[in-house]
Amino acid sequence: MTELNKIALQIISNGKGILAADESNGTMTKRLDAVNVTSTPENRLLFRETLFSSESMRECIGGVILFDETINQITSSGKSVPDLISSTGATPGIKVDTGAKILANSSEEKITEGLDGLRERLKTYYKLGARFTKWRGVYSISNKYPSELAIYSNAHALARYSALVQECGMVPIVEPELLMDGDHSAEVCLSKTSEVIKRCFEQLIFHKIDLTGVILKPNMILAGNQSKNKISNEEVSKKTVQCLRDSVPNEVPGIAFLSGGQSEIEATKNLDLINKNNNTEFKMTFSYGRALQQSALKKWSKNNKDIKDTQITFNHRAKMCSLAAQGKWSNELESK
C-alpha cells in the first residue's frame, strides 16, 4: 500500500467522511448574511472552530477541507486550525483552486483556475499540515452543455492539479460537479456525468496519476431542479451506483459525494441507499458542505456563545451522514 493510498483510506473508511468547510470568503459571506451574521475573519473562525471541536469529529469525520484563510488561523485555545483538526484524528485538507472563471470561446461555461504557482503553494500547505487537497470543476447541463471544450479543458486542469498534488505527497480530491440547475431528466444527468467522469480519468491516466491515491468527489445522479420528472431516492441511488461502476477505474479507493444543494435529509437518505445498493468495491461516503453545516449554522447564528447547542446539532448531522456512509441510516434514527 502506498502512502497516498493509506491517507485516502484513512479519510474515507470506517463510516467516516469529509466536512467541506472550504467556502471562499465570498460564499461564506453569503451563508452568514443569510443568517444575519456579519462576515468577519473572527466570525468565520468562530463558527468553524465550533464545528472542528465537536465530539463527532472523532467518530464521523475523516478529513476537513479548509480555505486558505482558515488553514492560517489560530483557534481560541492557541492551536492552529490544522492542529485542532489533527488532534481529533481527522486529516486537514485544503482547497487549492482559485475559482471557476468564464471559459473563453464558450462564455456560458466555466473553467477552474489556479495552476500558476501551485507547486509552491502546495509546499506551504503541506508544511501547515495539509495531507489532501481539493479542486472543483463545474459544468452546467443543457442540450448543448457541457461542451466538448469545457469537458476537455476542466479534465486537463484536474489532471495537472492532481499530478502536482501527488508530487508533493498529498491526496487530490478530484471534484467534477455537474450542477443540478435546469429541467433535464435524471437520464440526461446520468449520461453527461458518466461522460465527464470518464474524460477526467482519461486525462488523469495520461498524466500518470496514481489512481490508488485519488478520491473522486462527484454529484449524485438527480433530475434537474426544474424538472417535472423527479425520480425516487431508490432510483437516484441505483443510477448513481451504475454511473460510477461504469466510469471509475477500479484502482480508485473511494468516492465522497458533494451534496450540491440537496437538503440535509435528502443528501443523507440518498447516500444511505447508495451504500445499501453498492455493488462495487468503492467506498462511498460524503464530502458535504451545506448538507453538514446548514442546521448548525442556523443554530449558531441565534446564539454564537452557546457552543454546546451548535455542536449537538452538528453531531447529529455528522452521525446521520456516517450511518448513511455505512448503509445503516433510517428515518427512526434521524428523528430520535
Shortest Å, Cβ 70 to ligand 5MM: 11
Which residue of 10, 11, 22, 222 would you call a contact of ligand 5MM, by CB under 6 A? Answer: 22
Q: Of the candidates 141, 142, 134, which has an alpha carbon nearest to the alpha carbon of residue 118? A: 134
Using rule CB under 6 A, residue 289 touches ligand 5MM = yes
Give the C-alpha separation, 214 to 252, whole Å. 6
Q: Which is nearer to ligand 5MM, 9 or 258 (CB)?
A: 258
Is residue 314 within 8 A of residue 61, CB to CB? The reply is no
Using rule CB under 6 A, residue 264 touches ligand 5MM = no
Q: Which helix (H) or strand (E) holds 239?
A: helix 233-247
Give the C-alpha separation, 160 to 84, whole Å. 31
Catalytic residue at 175? yes
Give the C-alpha separation, 265 to 288, whole Å. 12
Using rule CB under 6 A, residue 49 touches ligand 5MM = no
User: What b-and-e string marks burial along 126-139, b requiring 16 or more CB atoms within 10 Å of the CB?
Assistant: bebbbbbbbbbbbb
Using rule CB under 6 A, residue 110 touches ligand 5MM = no
Using rule CB under 6 A, residue 258 touches ligand 5MM = yes
Write the binding mask 136 to 175 for ligand 5MM: x where contact by CB under 6 A, - elsewhere: x---------------------------------------
Residue 200 makes CB contacts below 8 A (sequence gap 6+) with 137, 154, 155, 158, 159, 174, 176
Using rule CB under 6 A, residue 215 touches ligand 5MM = no
Which residue of 85, 118, 221, 291 would you call a contact of ligand 5MM, by CB under 6 A? Answer: 291
- In this chain, which stretch among 119-127, 154-162, 253-261, 268-276 interacts with ligand 5MM, using CB under 6 A? 253-261
Q: Which is nearer to ligand 5MM, 201 or 288 (CB)?
A: 288
Instruction: Considering the candidates 23, 49, 109, 175, report the single residue annotated as catalytic.
Output: 175
* Helix/strand/coil for 129: coil
Sign of CA dihedral 151, 153, 154, 156: positive
Instruction: Considering the candidates 192, 217, 269, 319, report the single residue annotated as catalytic.
Output: 217
Site for ligand 5MM, rule CB under 6 A: 20, 22-24, 27, 136, 177, 258-260, 288-291
Catalytic machinery residues? 175, 217
